[in-house]
Structure 1
Amino acid sequence: MTIQSGRIGLLCAICSVMLEETNNIRKQSPIRRAIVKLDQKVANRIAAGEVIERPSAIVKELLENSIDASASKIEVFLSDGGKSLIQVKDNGWGMKKWELPLAVCRHATSKLVDNELTKVKTYGFRGEALPSIGASARLKIQSNLRDSDDSWEIFVDNGAIGNIKPSAINLGTVVEVRDLFVATPARLKFLKSDRSETQSIIDIFKKIALANPEIDFSLTDISTIDKAKLIADYKFYPKKNTNSTLVKDPLGEANSQRMKQVFGNDIFENLLPIKFSEPRMTISGYISLPTYSRSNSSHQYFFVNGRPVWDKQLLGALRASYSDFIMRGRYPVTVIFINCPPDLVDANVHPAKTEVRFHDYPSVRSSLISTIKEAIANANTKTSTAVSEKMMEAFKVSSHNQKLGNNIRWNKRTQTLSRKANSSQIHELDYQNALFSDISTKTFQDSSKELIEDSEIVGCDTDKDHDLPLGAPVAHVHQNYIIAQTSKGIIIVDQHAAHERIVYEELKTVWNKSLVTSQALLIPEIVELGEERVSVLLKFRADLDRLGVVLEPFGNKSICLRSLPAILGQVNGSTLVNDLADELLEHKDVSVLEEKIEKIISKIACHGSVRSGRKLNPEEMTALLRKMEGTPYSNQCNHGRPTFVELKLTEIERLFERN
């Protein structure tokens, strides 16, 4: 009885403690607050978090304001990576006295009226940049209205707007930003080093300068007292016509000059111009040769109606354009301008205005891919200067080379060319090996084997070939490399890589012209996808049928997969269908399936082309060179490696110090 009473007492004590804690929680619960309008300073700081992420965002906004003000000269000064000071000077229109306080108020702008939101033609239009900057730092604006004798200035200290005062400047506008995030030190901690922030500013500065070659730009670092460092100085060099009036040509000579200023001649010499035009869209700019690439995408620039953008869909289209020509993990250098009517693109997607949405993206994608591929095809006998530079470096005379030269003993056997090789051996191809046993069918095997045999190398008179792009063969070394003489120097060809591209392009032609063979599944596969994914697959059902994918609806959320392209062999049907659905939802085309098929054709071409170690006679070498000249994209193999390198006669003479 005593034990039972003790237990009851303990339970009562526990219940009492729990009840007290519950009452305390209730007392601490927040009181309901009424909905009120945020204070303007707080609202500006919240908005600034989206617009002003780092110093480079401020530089971008101020540069765009200067351009919208019709400035022809813009100077930028910065200190400590833009954290301590950013100053932008321009010679634009300037502002009136009564406009200055409006300029630092949210959603006040001279660039937009009610019915123009879908037809934005200026860089800025939201009216958020200056008030966001003023909420994050100490902002000073000085301005002189063009053709006016009066200048005025206004100061904003972390959201607090000061009075308008007379100013001493006599042209344009000067915007000065000091002590970024001084009122929100927590945000200051998230900024990177001064060097990293400066590099970010340089990147956005280059983008704006590339899009506006008719404007003079300069960027100066004044972090060190009495020792200013000029980082960039881009001048506009106008072309004069017969009447001595300036010709504004942002996609012609002026653009070329600006490209050379920003990237330098070394990069510019490895770029190809691109041009596409139709009534409602133009694409122009420069792309690098596939053999000239970078280890990251920092040299890829897109501009939509002059606005620099970073769009995932456009980057995806760029990758698809180079998928056949560039090595994995390498990135081309590109500067691409897309222009279209403002009502066909939405620039009001993000406060930073770095993203856009096209009303007809599939059309933009297909036009961009075809334009880039056409430019690369037209340059099929051109290779990058970087390859020649590597050759020059490799050929440099060293003490080791000199010692090696003293020990050379001539062997007559090295001076003869084998003429006994049977050309049919070049195309030995075992389609029964394990590599192709599960990815190719007899129908495709027969057509591809026949095509490879038809491309046998035949004899040709080489005496008349020196003036052709790839010249005439003069030697075959290490049973893999053809040395050819041209009117400008010599060419060294990798026979396997070159023939691989030839076979690949011809196999693709056969594939595109012939009907795709479908392989019916022994047991049709039911794939659950969801209504949206089923709907998009059925919408493109005809295109999928053409590529050998036969499917039928199976309820609202599933499809029945009946056939797959025979060339794919033992592929996971469910995974393929899901990939197709994702691709169709994002890009509205069937490129993912086409890419899978092309990868298999590429693999077949690789194993069906002349191998390294195969001796070629002069007739075979000549025929291979002529075939390369007539094959698109022949300056690199399917994996992106160069098929040939060029060494000009002037470079050879430099090697022997004859110049």
Structure 2
Amino acid sequence: MPIRPLPDILVNQIAAGEVVERPASVVKELVENAIDAGARRVDIDLEEGGARLIRIRDDGGGIPADELALAVSRHATSKIASLDDLEGVATLGFRGEALPSIASVSRFTLVSRPGDAQHAMALEVDGGRVAEPAPRPHPPGTTVEVRDLFFNVPARRKFLKAERTELGHIEEWLRQLALARPDIELRVSHNGKPSRRWKGEVDILEQSGLFDARLQETLGEGFASQALRVEHEAAGLRLHGWIAKPNYSRASADQQYLYVNGRAVRDRSVAHAVKQAYADVLFHGRQPAYVLFLSVDPRRVDVNVHPAKHEVRFRDGRLIHDFVYRTLHQALAETRAGIEASSMTAHAPAATGQGGQPAAMHWDRSQAPLGLREGAADGVWAREAQAGYAALYGGHAGGNEATPAAAPSAPLPPLPESSEPSLPPLGYAMAQLHGIYILAESAQGLIVVDMHAAHERIGYEKLKRAHDGEGLRTQPLLVPASIAVSEREAEVAERESATLAELGFEVTRAGPQSLTLRAVPALLAHGDVEALLRDVLADLREHGQSRRVAEARDELLSTMACHGAVRANRRLTLPEMNALLREMEATERSGQCNHGRPTWAHFTLAEMDRWFLRGR
């Protein structure tokens, strides 16, 4: 068969195979065009999950009459004019392929009116065949109508799923857009009935500072109530948004949203950085939830690497990975036990006295458990609490258990005067339940602590700090080991020799497919260092960096902390319990144990009142 140019209609249909996967792809391309045109409101009308009808109406700038035909021709766009424009593109669309591709596989109508035009012009395309433009009444803006998607490509139409499934894909993409653009109103109808509406009340949202309203209506109260605000800027990068606290985790990655310069994308390197940040605070098999916006110089990111623009490529991938990891790692470090209880106390309504008048909130230290009265309200531990701390921790996190301190026989000194109205976030211990849980009274109710899980996290964080302080030590091998690797792995090892040295490996390339290993991280010398080295090389090749050594070290320290933590049925004195509570309040990530299990729970008085139907 001789070489010959393809007909334009066939070329557009081939392009449609890349751009138009399903009705959601059409909605994405058309709504993005509306946003690029400056729309503040977009109406999306659908029938049969978009297979029968997709109508997108916007109030944007419109298309001049003499450009309508160009709008449905391939590689015609108003968004770029040169290679410089492409390298720094800031619009959502730029390829100039969407409209002709969609029009080639549907019955397509484009109606548009610029703000200064007296009337609109309409252009109809039937399976790629373009008719002459004709006048039509229409308000300023644009309407694109796509009927009978894939009517002329039966094989493609057979791959469409059930109506409910296709509608679900559209709604999920619109949810992504709603999170990124709370300033735009989106109205959705399906089969003639209103389906969803996201209000574009930007003034109200900006006043809240955190776009809480849009966050709640898109992802629900569960995520909004458990979200941590993230905001960090460095090295020309800015990361902001929300990450869910570790106790709000998912069975799947269905609430993971990443935006690069406002564009919703998937990126394995960033996803890997997020996963690493959650490494030892998330229960096994669970997925973190997040909405993150990464801002980077457009010239440092290539958005032209995927036909549907789902992926991007960073020029400084290693820097991006490290920036995201460190930002989220630090944010999660602040998930100390008691934070929620402390916040609840700060925002709790004042108690009321007789006649509904506000009553002064005051904690009577004379009612505190014995041994906790001296200076408890102003943060000074009693001598018994200090003795309990020494007994409990044995002078070293993760060390051997020591005998509890004996109760003092001398009378307590007089209580110092203090007007401090509040209790510590985790309150003060009242009792131990079944030798497993500590029960404490807080300003707002009851705190229950799993003492083993809490002590395990405290010891683990202390061991990590101790090892971080002394630095990573290496241990030379008595006999250098020869390791057979692939040629690609050998190239990575040679190129990243300095990085490997920082991780504790002394490695040299011995041949096209072999390495010589002369030294390893001292703490991990008795493990499978060859497998660890291979994993590190895989990370360096894919992500530009690796935390495998740190993770292996942390796993070992976690085991040490677990063995050194107090066990079930170990009876603690009240000073020991309170020393543990104070340590939890001061320890990073103490809301979860080393394995991601929660270390504490909080029950408010209102919750307990409901248990017993009080006030009903």
Given the two structures, how large is their TM-score scaled by the length of structure 1?
0.80
Contact 2:397/2:458 (<8 A) preserved: no
**1:471 maps to 2:415:** no
SS of residue in 1 equivalent to 2:188 = strand
Give the superposition deviation at 1:374. 1.9
Aligned positions of 1:185-204 closer than 5 A: 185-204=154-173
CA distance in structure 2 between the partners assigned to 1:187 and 1:495 by the alignment: 59
CA distance in structure 2 between the partners assigned to 1:123 and 1:249 by the alignment: 23
One-letter amino acid of the structure 2 residue matched with residue 509 of structure 1: R
Decide whether aligned partners of structure 1 residues 382 and 270 sit closer, same or farther in structure 2, where only a CA change above 3 A counts: farther
Partner residue of 1:312?
268
Partner residue of 2:70?
102
One-letter amino acid of the structure 2 residue matched with residue 35 of structure 1: I
Partner residue of 2:23?
55
Decide whether aligned partners of structure 1 residues 317 and 552 sit closer, same or farther in structure 2, where only a CA change above 3 A counts: same
Contact 2:493/2:509 (<8 A) preserved: no
Give the superposition deviation at 1:585. 1.1
Contact 2:18/2:308 (<8 A) preserved: yes
Give the superposition deviation at 1:492. 0.7
CA distance in structure 2 between the partners assigned to 1:515 and 1:236 by the alignment: 51
Decide whether aligned partners of structure 1 residues 423 and 470 sit closer, same or farther in structure 2, where only a CA change above 3 A counts: closer
Contact 1:237/1:257 (<8 A) preserved: no
Unaligned runs of 5+ in 1: 1-32, 223-227, 241-247, 389-414, 429-448
Give the superposition deviation at 1:72. 0.4
CA distance in structure 1 between the partners assigned to 2:441 and 2:523 by the alignment: 41
Partner residue of 2:196?
232
One-letter amino acid of the structure 1 residue matched with residue 507 of structure 2: L
**1:213 maps to 2:182:** yes
CA distance in structure 2 between the partners assigned to 1:608 and 1:170 by the alignment: 73
One-letter amino acid of the structure 2 residue matched with residue 98 of structure 1: D
CA distance in structure 2 between the partners assigned to 1:35 and 1:109 by the alignment: 29
CA distance in structure 2 between the partners assigned to 1:79 and 1:632 by the alignment: 52
- The counterpart of 1:581, out of the listed 537, 559, 569, is 537
Aligned positions of 1:245-260 closer than 5 A: 249=206, 253=209, 255-260=211-216
Decide whether aligned partners of structure 1 residues 455 and 65 sit closer, same or farther in structure 2, where only a CA change above 3 A counts: farther
CA distance in structure 1 between the partners assigned to 2:443 and 2:463 by the alignment: 32
Partner residue of 1:452?
398
Contact 1:90/1:174 (<8 A) preserved: yes
CA distance in structure 1 between the partners assigned to 2:489 and 2:545 by the alignment: 13
SS of residue in 1 equivalent to 2:264 = strand
SS of residue in 2 equivalent to 1:176 = strand
Partner residue of 2:564?
608
One-letter amino acid of the structure 2 residue matched with residue 146 of structure 1: G
**1:268 maps to 2:224:** yes
**1:513 maps to 2:482:** no
Partner residue of 1:344?
300
RMSD: 2.9
Decide whether aligned partners of structure 1 residues 230 and 254 sit closer, same or farther in structure 2, where only a CA change above 3 A counts: farther
Partner residue of 1:40?
8
- The counterpart of 2:257, out of the listed 301, 319, 331, is 301
One-letter amino acid of the structure 2 residue matched with residue 165 of structure 1: A
Give the superposition deviation at 1:79. 1.4
**1:657 maps to 2:595:** no
Decide whether aligned partners of structure 1 residues 382 and 103 sit closer, same or farther in structure 2, where only a CA change above 3 A counts: farther
**1:116 maps to 2:62:** no
Contact 2:87/2:298 (<8 A) preserved: yes
Contact 2:397/2:564 (<8 A) preserved: no
CA distance in structure 1 between the partners assigned to 2:219 and 2:558 by the alignment: 34
Partner residue of 1:66?
34
Identity of aligned residues (%): 37
**1:178 maps to 2:147:** yes
Give the superposition deviation at 1:356. 0.6
Contact 1:326/1:641 (<8 A) preserved: yes
C-alpha deviations, 1:309-331, integer Å up to 9, x for none? Answer: 01111111111111111012211
**1:363 maps to 2:297:** no
Give the superposition deviation at 1:614. 1.5
Partner residue of 2:102?
133
One-letter amino acid of the structure 2 residue matched with residue 347 of structure 1: V
CA distance in structure 1 between the partners assigned to 2:421 and 2:500 by the alignment: 46
Contact 2:401/2:564 (<8 A) preserved: no
CA distance in structure 1 between the partners assigned to 2:244 and 2:550 by the alignment: 24
CA distance in structure 2 between the partners assigned to 1:230 and 1:621 by the alignment: 56
Aligned positions of 1:404-483 closer than 5 A: 450-453=396-399, 467-483=423-439
Give the superposition deviation at 1:641. 1.1
Partner residue of 2:492?
536
C-alpha deviations, 1:291-318, integer Å up to 9, x for none? Answer: 0011100110000000000111111111
Partner residue of 1:284?
240
SS of residue in 2 equivalent to 1:332 = coil
One-letter amino acid of the structure 2 residue matched with residue 307 of structure 1: R
Partner residue of 1:590?
546
Contact 1:347/1:357 (<8 A) preserved: yes
**1:379 maps to 2:335:** yes
One-letter amino acid of the structure 2 residue matched with residue 591 of structure 1: R
SS of residue in 2 equivalent to 1:553 = strand
CA distance in structure 1 between the partners assigned to 2:437 and 2:498 by the alignment: 46
CA distance in structure 1 between the partners assigned to 2:216 and 2:389 by the alignment: 47
CA distance in structure 2 between the partners assigned to 1:137 and 1:187 by the alignment: 12
**1:153 maps to 2:122:** yes
Contact 1:474/1:485 (<8 A) preserved: yes
CA distance in structure 2 between the partners assigned to 1:561 and 1:303 by the alignment: 41
Decide whether aligned partners of structure 1 residues 649 and 580 sit closer, same or farther in structure 2, where only a CA change above 3 A counts: same
- The counterpart of 1:524, out of the listed 456, 480, 486, is 480
**1:560 maps to 2:540:** no
CA distance in structure 2 between the partners assigned to 1:512 and 1:352 by the alignment: 44
C-alpha deviations, 1:34-61, integer Å up to 9, x for none? Answer: 3211111111111111110111111111
CA distance in structure 1 between the partners assigned to 2:91 and 2:308 by the alignment: 14
Contact 1:561/1:573 (<8 A) preserved: no
One-letter amino acid of the structure 2 residue matched with residue 537 of structure 1: A
CA distance in structure 2 between the partners assigned to 1:658 and 1:88 by the alignment: 53
Contact 2:398/2:560 (<8 A) preserved: no
Give the superposition deviation at 1:564. 2.2
Decide whether aligned partners of structure 1 residues 207 and 123 sit closer, same or farther in structure 2, where only a CA change above 3 A counts: same
User: Whose Rg is larger?
Assistant: 1
CA distance in structure 1 between the partners assigned to 2:223 and 2:321 by the alignment: 26
How many residue pairs match? The answer is 564
One-letter amino acid of the structure 1 residue matched with residue 609 of structure 2: E
Give the superposition deviation at 1:489. 1.5
One-letter amino acid of the structure 1 residue matched with residue 533 of structure 2: V
C-alpha deviations, 1:71-126, integer Å up to 9, x for none? Answer: 00011111111111111111001111111111111111111111301000100000
CA distance in structure 2 between the partners assigned to 1:63 and 1:611 by the alignment: 58
Give the superposition deviation at 1:573. 3.8
SS of residue in 1 equivalent to 2:142 = strand
CA distance in structure 2 between the partners assigned to 1:577 and 1:374 by the alignment: 27
C-alpha deviations, 1:4-47, integer Å up to 9, x for none? Answer: xxxxxxxxxxxxxxxxxxxxxxxxxxxxx332111111111111
CA distance in structure 2 between the partners assigned to 1:453 and 1:134 by the alignment: 71
CA distance in structure 2 between the partners assigned to 1:595 and 1:538 by the alignment: 23
Unaligned runs of 5+ in 2: 345-368, 372-383
CA distance in structure 2 between the partners assigned to 1:199 and 1:384 by the alignment: 35
CA distance in structure 2 between the partners assigned to 1:317 and 1:527 by the alignment: 29
Contact 1:426/1:609 (<8 A) preserved: no
**1:633 maps to 2:589:** yes
SS of residue in 2 equivalent to 1:122 = coil
Given the two structures, how large is their TM-score scaled by the length of structure 2?
0.86
CA distance in structure 1 between the partners assigned to 2:20 and 2:101 by the alignment: 7
